[in-house]
């Protein structure tokens, strides 16, 4: 397994210092997700739900959903960076759920579990290119 290191420059999501293990970007990306079917999950579905990701890193992602997905739930994910490329396919485990005040929307954080090295490289490349683009606009 390849060990990815975070960027040495404290590059923000274009507006503040990043202190997480992996660099992340706050750039809208459309993903598809569904709850991985298992025997004790009543919400499991064969339907894919489409949502916009609020932020993405090699370690995981954060998105808003109308579903109150429980911590520990395993999600199947399809992350598309463009319509011309094959989406990154992986699984993630829900690590945090936060109900948005005065709405029926939930913020869902998921950490990647089963993800191939080449998929990590694609995500890392996307994050780095996005951060570089952001820095270029700032300077």
Number of domains comprising the chain: 1
Place of tokens 């990647």: 112
Q: Express each pLDDT in 66-100 by its tens digit.
A: 999 999 999 999 998 776 678 899 999 999 999 99
Residue 132 confidence (pLDDT): 81
Residue 30 confidence (pLDDT): 87
Q: Tell whether 14 is covered by a domain.
A: no
Note whether 23 and 11 are within 8 A (CB). Answer: yes
- What's the CATH code of the domain at 118? 2.40.10.220
pTM here is 0.75
Q: Tell whether 48 is covered by a domain.
A: yes
Range of the domain at 76: 24-138
Residue 40 confidence (pLDDT): 57
Q: What percent of the chain has pLDDT over 70?
A: 71
The larger pLDDT score, comparing residue 28 to residue 122, is at: 122
Q: Tell whether 7 is covered by a domain.
A: no
The rounded Cα 74 to chain-centroid distance in angstroms is 13
Quote the CA–CA distance of 12 and 62 in Å, as a whole number.
Answer: 17
Q: Tell whether 81 is covered by a domain.
A: yes
Q: Tell whether 37 is covered by a domain.
A: yes
CB atoms within 10 A of CB 28: 11
Tell me the pLDDT band of 127, cut-offs 50, 70 and 90.
confident
Between β-strands 74-79 and 49-57, what pairing exists: parallel, antiparallel or unpaired? Answer: unpaired
Q: What average pLDDT is seen over the chain? A: 79
pLDDT at 111 exceeding the cut of 80: yes
Residue 46 confidence (pLDDT): 74
Q: Express each pLDDT in 37-65 by its tens digit.
A: 774 555 556 789 999 998 999 999 999 99
Q: Tell whether 68 is covered by a domain.
A: yes
Q: Tell whether 16 is covered by a domain.
A: no
Q: What percent of the chain has pLDDT over 90?
A: 44
Quote the CA–CA distance of 33 and 80 in Å, as a whole number.
Answer: 11
Note whether 127 and 58 are within 8 A (CB). Answer: yes
Q: Using alpha carbons, select from 40, 69, 58 the residue that is nearest to residue 126.
A: 58
Q: Tell whether 17 is covered by a domain.
A: no
């Amino acid at each position: 397994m390849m060990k990815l290191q975070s960027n040495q420059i404290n590059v923000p999501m274009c507006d503040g210092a990043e202190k997480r293990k992996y660099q992340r970007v706050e750039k809208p990306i459309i993903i598809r997700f569904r709850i991985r079917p298992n025997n004790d999950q009543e919400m499991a579905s064969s339907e894919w739900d489409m949502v916009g990701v609020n932020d993405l890193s090699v370690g995981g992602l954060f998105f808003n959903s109308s579903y109150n997905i429980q911590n520990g739930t395993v999600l199947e994910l399809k992350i598309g960076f463009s319509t011309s490329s094959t989406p990154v396919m992986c699984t993630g485990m829900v690590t945090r759920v936060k109900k948005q005040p005065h709405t029926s929307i939930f913020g869902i954080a998921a950490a990647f579990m089963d993800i191939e090295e080449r998929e990590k490289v694609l995500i890392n490349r996307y994050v780095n290119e996005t951060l570089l683009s952001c820095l270029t606009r700032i300077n």
